[in-house]
A and B are shown apart, each in its own frame.
Chain A
Amino acid sequence: MQIDFNKGARFNVLEFSNLQFAILNLQFEIQMPLSEYLLRLGDDRLILGHRLSEWCGHGPILEEDIALANMALDLIGQANLLLELAGKAEGQGKSADSFAYFREGIEFRNALIVELPRGDFAFTIARQFLVSVFEMLHLEKLQSSAHSDLAGIAAKAFKETRYHARHSADWMLKLGDGTADSHDRVQKTVNELWRFTGELFEVDDVERDLVAEGIAPDRGALRESWRSEVARVLQAATLTVPDDGFMQRGGRDGRHTEHLGLLLAEMQIVARSFPGAEW
């Protein structure tokens, strides 16, 4: 069987030995899921970090302005390490910057919850709380990943994320158990966000293999501990835990909300206007 390529090159498929097929297959099976997984971890942090950075200069009080910018810095730092590792796993010579600045929306692999606009302070805090409790539980397990660099990055990120989760849990208590207005606004936000939380626990074929190899923790298995940690804080904050209903999904496959495109337009404009620029 002969295949004609555009440039006239000829390629005989039968000359490919079974061994070569086996190697190609193995590379696909190991490298593609790993780089895909690392993009998910990196993109969740890059996009959430960008959303938090939007508060810089707009925080309700100076200390919060500084706190949100600090968490943005941690998250973008973690994204940088994870995307750099994704580039290595993919083996095409891509850097963290090329992933961050030169991909289109459909190539981003973040969960939808992190790309939603920052909203008011209650929205930012409630989202941060729901996501960072998940991240904390996920990173706690990822520290013992069979992939040693990933385990090391996770160990550091776990310690940082504990500070994030504590910060947002403190605010959930203050807002939930605060005035009638703050209570209503944060409850409304939790209710709105709930349908975006299911995606955090979805396990597909990409991750199933990595779980079997001991590289990734099983997200699905974290759901119960997440639920009980979240419920404990919500109840202490006099808030109601919403019922699970229809869950939004699509981010892992590149199907995003319209908000991601606007975020990327802002995040990527300098790198795309002056490609390769350095200072």
Chain B
Amino acid sequence: MRARDEYWAAVGAVLDPEVPVLSVIDLGIVRDMREEGGTVVVDVTPTYSGCPAMRTIEHDIIEALQQAGAATVKVNTVFQPAWTTDWISPDARERLRAYGIAPPSGAAAVPTELIPLQRRAETIACPRCNSRNTERRSEFGSTACKSIYYCVSCAEPFEYFKPL
């Protein structure tokens, strides 16, 4: 049985500890939630294989559901289909930008070439001044899901939530 609305609302209030403007529902990592007897079963899929926030997220989901009245909660880790940034909603992308993180641009399409040589870094708009005069400094940033960019126009570094 699909979990009742108040349970969905409780889980919808659980935020990603590393990006605290996105809930776990906005991120698309809660794949299903149902009631089996007296137990609320939540299917969660990891973002990155090594994402250190996953344990905290599981813990927060359990706590939120218990506060909403669930007697027992079980969190299942599911691997298929694999998480993609395409599941982040348009509204959540806008909140990311307002928070100062450039949202993933477009879909996480698989390039035809495995290792594209002579590629130009995508132009990503600065989340502060909206300028496209930006440079990529590194594809790896402060967390697994972000790259480091620099805005030439406003002379500030910013982070880009990279497509996966």
Contact = CB atoms under 8 A, between A and B. Distances in A.
A67 B141 CA distance: 7
Contacts of A155: 79-82
A166 B116 contact: yes
Contacts of A73: 48, 50, 52, 144
A74 B48 contact: yes
Contact of B114 (A70, A136, A149): A136
A165 B115 contact: yes
Interface in B144-164: 144, 148, 162, 164
Contacts of A133: 114-115
A169 B139 contact: no
Contacts of B84: 159
Interface in B62-97: 78-84
A160 B107 CA distance: 16
A169 B80 CA distance: 29
B137 interface: yes
Contacts of B139: 67, 163, 166-167
Interface string A87-108: 0000000000000000000000
Chain B interface, >50% SS class:
loop
A151 interface: yes
Contact of B80 (A137, A148, A232): A148
Q: Which of B48, B81, B137 has the most CB of A within 10 A?
A: B48
Chain A interface, >50% SS class:
helix
A156 B82 contact: yes
A177 to B, nearest CB: 11
A79 B137 CA distance: 28
Given A74-B50, A162-B114, A152 B78 contact: yes
Q: How large is the interface on B (under 10, 10 to 19, 20 to 34, 35 or more residues)?
A: 20 to 34
A76 B139 CA distance: 19
Nearest to B147: A163
Nearest to B143: A70
B4 to A, nearest CB: 28
Given A152-B81, A159-B164, A167 B117 contact: no
Contacts of B50: 73-78, 80
B51 interface: yes
Q: Which of B50, B81, B117, B139 has the most CB of A within 10 A?
A: B50
B133 interface: no
Given A66-B142, A74-B144, A166-B115, A152 B80 contact: yes
Contact of A160 (B49, B52, B148): B49
Given A63-B148, A74-B144, A233 B78 contact: no
Contact of B140 (A70, A81, A156, A162): A70
B7 to A, nearest CB: 25
B80 A157 contact: no
A236 interface: yes
A217 to B, nearest CB: 15
A82 B50 CA distance: 12
Interface in A223-245: 229, 232-233, 236
Contact of A233 (B117, B137, B138): B117
Nearest to B137: A63
Interface in A120-178: 133, 136-137, 140, 148-149, 151-153, 155-157, 159-160, 162-163, 165-167, 169, 173
Nearest to A151: B80
Nearest to A162: B114
A114 interface: no
Nearest to A157: B49
A74 B115 contact: no
Contact of A67 (B46, B48, B108, B140): B140
23 contacts: A66-B138, A70-B144, A73-B48, A77-B46, A77-B48, A140-B114, A149-B80, A152-B79, A152-B81, A153-B49, A153-B79, A155-B80, A155-B82, A157-B49, A159-B108, A159-B164, A163-B162, A165-B114, A165-B115, A166-B116, A167-B139, A173-B117, A232-B117
Nearest 4 Cβ contacts at the A-B interface: A77-B50, A152-B79, A77-B49, A152-B80
